[in-house]
Amino acid sequence: MLPPSPPGLLRRLRIALMFLTRIPVRLDPPPEAHELAEAGDMFPVIGALIGAATGALFWALAAAGLPPLVAATLALAAQLLLTGALHEDGLADMADGFGGGFSRARKLEIMRDSRLGTYGGAALMLSLLARAGLIAALPPESAIAVLAVAQGASRWLLSALRLGLPPARTADQGGGLTAAVGATDALPITLRATIPALLLPLLLLGWDSLLPVALGLFIVWVGVRALCRWQIQGFTGDTLGASQQLGELMLLCLLATQ
């Protein structure tokens, strides 16, 4: 039986917008799991729009006279409302599971629990503090481009982390959407996602930013992939979201020092 054909470009964009934001998107028929996976090549595009909106708000608030850290904090708060804190939730759940569990089964059980634990709360707080501080350190006029690159390119990891990693939970074990997404070949999706992920720094920040962005993504990909293989022998939706958060933080660190 042949695998389902990928949806068209416009439908993939709309699926990515529906998945990554709280913006109402009507799709008829509703997307299937394989379509969500195939839309991964559009995640950097939607991520760049989210980052640009965050940067624009930071610039406007800073121009209105707010202190940079306050402007950055408010811009991040607006971003969380726009995205539903989707990836932040993944970071917190992964930190709770990897930090609080002593066996693979227990780690997966903790990650499924909707309650926030000490490790998750600490990881979330440190991530938000670091991101707010890095945004505040940016020149307001460059924030739109830098945040578009950091948030767009980091969403390449949502597809790339699946390369060579199976779903940590099968459908019989409650893997649900993650298990179904894991059945879709990640390589062609990741290759397609690489194009916008690397075009963003090239077009918005210039050649000098291309190598740091590519290197930063590679470091996070290797590190998170190895951690997932060691801790739970696979990936979950939470680890995908956490990889984006760590990737964004890495890229902000690299770009803020340029």
Measured CA to CA, the distance from residue 180 to residue 190 in angstroms comes to 17
Whose structure tokens read 């726009």?
82
Contacting residues for 98 by C-beta, under 8 A, at least 6 apart: 107, 119, 227, 231, 232
Task: Return the half-sphere exposure (C-beta side, CA atoms, 13 A cut-off) of residue 146.
Answer: 25
Q: What is the pLDDT of residue 175?
A: 53
Q: Is the pLDDT of residue 64 over 70?
A: yes
Q: Is the pLDDT of residue 174 over 60?
A: no
Per the DSSP assignment, residues forming a β-bridge with 167 are 235
| 175 part of a folded domain | yes
Q: What residues make up the domain containing 165?
A: 9-256
Q: Please compute the mean of the pLDDT values over residues 105-110 and round it to a whole number.
A: 95
| 54 part of a folded domain | yes
Measured CA to CA, the distance from residue 147 to residue 102 in angstroms comes to 37
| 3 part of a folded domain | no
| 196 part of a folded domain | yes
Q: Please compute the mean of the pLDDT values over residues 85-110 and round it to a whole number.
A: 96
Number of domains in the chain: 1
Q: What is the pLDDT of residue 5?
A: 65
| 1 part of a folded domain | no
**175 in Cβ contact with 167 (< 8 Å):** yes
| Crossing angle of the two packed helices 43-63 and 9-20, in degrees rounded to 10 | 50
Q: Is the pLDDT of residue 1 over 50?
A: no
| Opening angle at CA 236, ends 244 and 221, nearest 5 | 40
Q: What is the pLDDT of residue 184?
A: 85
Average pLDDT of every residue of the chain: 93
| 44 part of a folded domain | yes
| 153 part of a folded domain | yes
Q: Please compute the mean of the pLDDT values over residues 227-248 and round it to a whole number.
A: 97
φ and ψ of 24, to 5 deg: -65, 125
pLDDT bucket at 177, cuts 50 / 70 / 90: confident
DSSP one-letter code for 208: G
Q: pLDDT tens, 114-127?
A: 899 999 999 999 99
Return the percent helix, strand and coil in the chain, to nearest 5: 75, 0, 25
Q: What is the pLDDT of residue 170?
A: 72
Tokens of 186: 């990640």
Q: Which of the two residues, 1 and 114, has the higher pLDDT score?
A: 114
Weakest mean pLDDT among 22-26, 90-94, 176-180:
176-180
Q: pLDDT tens, 126-161?
A: 999 999 999 999 999 999 999 999 999 999 999 999
Q: What is the pLDDT of residue 217?
A: 98
| 173 part of a folded domain | yes
Whose structure tokens read 């291309």?
210
Q: Please compute the mean of the pLDDT values over residues 213-238 and round it to a whole number.
A: 97
